[in-house]
């Protein structure tokens, strides 16, 4: 017979999995875009467009309201299977259909961050090993700063937020400056402290 504690852990795990699936910050985006290519690019249009797009990866894009992680597919757009030349411009205009994998968090989404900075006024986090996030002291839900760590109320002294701890937080605000994304969050709970046994329930883990 399954013990109440196991049922509780299984139920909590199920809730966390549903939460992750219902508020995923990753999505597939389809776009129509136009590029100007030099004649030699016609040897391999997809390859040259892919090279042009490399500078756009990992930078916030307002048009798609997120950060493109990778380009999954490039196809000539329907009804635009031929390039176009205008006047004396040697470049050839090509319209393509792009499919991209995008990180696009929204307010109220829940994310997991690894602590990489501890201050009395905030904690710094790295999300998926790529994106910066921070939680202000006023959004730490009662946790207090003490001796270069954050202590959680109603917990044993050894359950603390320290460097490399994993934290579950809710996105409050999204900022971007010159293509760099930053998130402001609200602390929900400690998932794992680097100095103690993992606190992550079964079925929930950090995605990096």
pLDDT tens for 95-126 read 889 999 999 999 999 999 999 999 999 999 99
pTM > 0.85: no
Is residue 95 in a domain? yes
Is residue 123 in a domain? yes
Cα separation, 71 vs 159, in Å, equals: 41
**Alpha-carbon torsion, ordered 15, 17, 19, 21, to 10 deg:** -150
The torsion angles phi and psi of 56, rounded to 5 degrees, stand at: -90, -15
* Residues 90 and 68 placed together within one structural domain of the fold: yes
The pLDDT value recorded for residue 166 is 95
Whether the CB-CB separation of 121 and 136 falls below 8 Å is answered with yes
* Residues 20 and 30 placed together within one structural domain of the fold: no
Q: Is a pLDDT exceeding 80 seen at residue 77?
A: no
* Residues 116 and 139 placed together within one structural domain of the fold: yes
| Tokens at 203, concatenated | 């079925």
Q: Which domain covers residue 71, as residue numbers?
A: 26-103
Is residue 208 in a domain? no
* Residues 97 and 136 placed together within one structural domain of the fold: no
* Residues 174 and 111 placed together within one structural domain of the fold: yes
> Half-sphere exposure (CA, 13 Å, Cβ side) for 123?
34
* Residues 32 and 96 placed together within one structural domain of the fold: yes
Is residue 202 in a domain? no
Cα separation, 150 vs 181, in Å, equals: 25
* Residues 18 and 31 placed together within one structural domain of the fold: no
Q: How many folded domains does the chain comprise?
A: 2
The torsion angles phi and psi of 71, rounded to 5 degrees, stand at: -95, 120
Cα separation, 96 vs 86, in Å, equals: 18
């Amino acid at each position: 017979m399954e013990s109440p504690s196991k049922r509780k852990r299984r139920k909590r795990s199920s809730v966390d999995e549903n939460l992750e699936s219902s508020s995923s910050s990753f999505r597939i985006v389809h776009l129509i875009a136009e590029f100007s290519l030099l004649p030699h690019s016609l040897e391999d249009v997809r390859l040259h467009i892919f090279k042009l797009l490399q500078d756009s990866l990992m930078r916030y894009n307002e048009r798609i309201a997120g950060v493109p992680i990778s380009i999954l597919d490039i196809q000539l757009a329907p009804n635009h299977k031929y390039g176009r030349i205008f006047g004396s411009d040697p470049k050839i205009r090509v319209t393509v259909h792009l499919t991209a994998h995008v990180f696009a968090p929204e307010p109220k989404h829940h994310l997991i961050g690894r602590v990489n900075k501890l201050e009395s006024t905030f904690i710094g986090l790295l999300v998926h090993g790529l994106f910066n996030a921070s939680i202000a002291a006023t959004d730490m839900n009662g946790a207090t700063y003490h001796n270069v760590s954050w202590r959680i109320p109603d917990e044993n002294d050894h359950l603390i937020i320290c460097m490399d701890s994993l934290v579950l937080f809710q996105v409050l605000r999204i900022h971007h400056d010159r293509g760099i994304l930053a998130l402001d969050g609200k602390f929900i709970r400690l998932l794992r402290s680097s100095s103690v046994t993992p606190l992550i329930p079964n079925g929930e883990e950090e995605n990096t």
